Chains A and B, each alone.
Chain A
Amino acid sequence: MKIIVDFDKCKSNAVCMGVAPEVFEVRDDNFLYILQEEPTENLRPKMEEAVRTCPAGAIELVG
């Protein structure tokens, strides 16, 4: 499973960070950083929630 973020679309709302802070981190520079590009399988439900709740529709899950 791989996380792909369209950084042109990302508007740094940090909703993904609220869902899964172990994978998504918006820092004080207001940019999103991906802490694990290939999260472990046990994080799948959280990753799916992050995809669904991203207000910019910027997150994609592959595999």
Chain B
Amino acid sequence: MYAGVLFAPLLLLLAVTGSVYLFKSEIESVLYQEYYQVDPQKEKLAVSEQLEEVKRLYPEAIVTKYRPGEDNERSSEVTISTNEESLTLFIDPYTGKSVGELNNEDRIMDKIEEIHGELMAGTLGDRMVELAACWAIVLLVTGFFLWFPKKPKGMGGVLFPRLKKGGKILRRDLHAVPAFWVSGGLLFLILTGLPWSGLWGANFQAITTNTGEGYPPSVWIGEAPVSGVETQDIAEVPWAAETLDVPISSLQGLVPQTLDQVVKIAEQTGIYPTYSIIIPQEPEGVYTLSVFPPKAQDEATIHIDQYSGAVLADYRYDNYGIIGKVVAWGITLHKGTQFGLANQLASLIICLGVILTAISGVYLWWKRKPKKGMGGPTAPALFKTKMFLWLMIGLGILFPLVGLSILVVWLFDWLIIQRIPVVKRWFNV
């Protein structure tokens, strides 16, 4: 009960932002149309020439990412970082001119994602979202457990609302019926969203990767391989040297692969065309080709030796372990991209259902709440069945944040509520 009241607003927020985020690519293609679209001409310029425009505009910036356009009418994107800012420049690959730039912090869809993932409050927000999501699972599971053993009195009020039994019943059913239908969908969305979360997700990913059945390392967590080169074999760049004060021999050595070469290697790998190239910033770093397209089967993470151009690791969907594949599908289904419009609409319906349920739930609580106190049920019933207790402990261990919050609530109960009569009365325990 209390967990429900506490986390309903959070779930509501997740459902609202999630509904919008489902249509990210549609919204962005309208918002940024002028940045995305270019007039196709005969020949594209070399990447190095496109980068010259970037260097001209931002001589001090570090180029961190390059995304070739996936078709003839799409601009290239160059991501740069200047002092603490990350900008994306859209370059017309035919003229080499910039057609626009975006501060990555100003992207509205990124903001929405940030609310959805961490309430715009960094790690704390991430943990709160995770806590709400885990508690939602606990509520769904325990709710099902509490509801199930009772003898069913017909499906009215569960599968469909009872329209002719008066306003009170109808109000109740308008909460309970969508809730039943939405529960399954919500459980699915939460379970597929959890692998993203900072604590549970990171641990889950580490455990599954360690078993050999998850994502290969570096796709989600873990380090990329390094370029196999010794420092003395790399050609030094006489950056600030006014005169040649570095020995000639140190200027001799390997030079990094050019982006043009990397694009060529990428094309040979047959990677999905919306890929990005993440540019190494350290001498031992690698070029990473990364693509997470709408369909899970097209995903790829490829690491290329910065100097030799050798493909050091080439992880496709087929190379994921079985859990990795399931999680990958879960993520594309969660984002509504796997099956296109049908997927988006199905997820939207679940989100709307969650919104309806949360609002009607709060309304119901408000209607029957006594003038004084929260109106929650008395607690001991919960702890009477051993089965239920073990279920809670199991869930508390499976979702450590839930376990932790139970401990905190118990401490709060033990130290404060049980000792101060007024508070005790208000909470109805």
A binds B: no
A interface residues (Cβ-Cβ under 8 A, vs B) = none
B interface residues (Cβ-Cβ under 8 A, vs A) = none
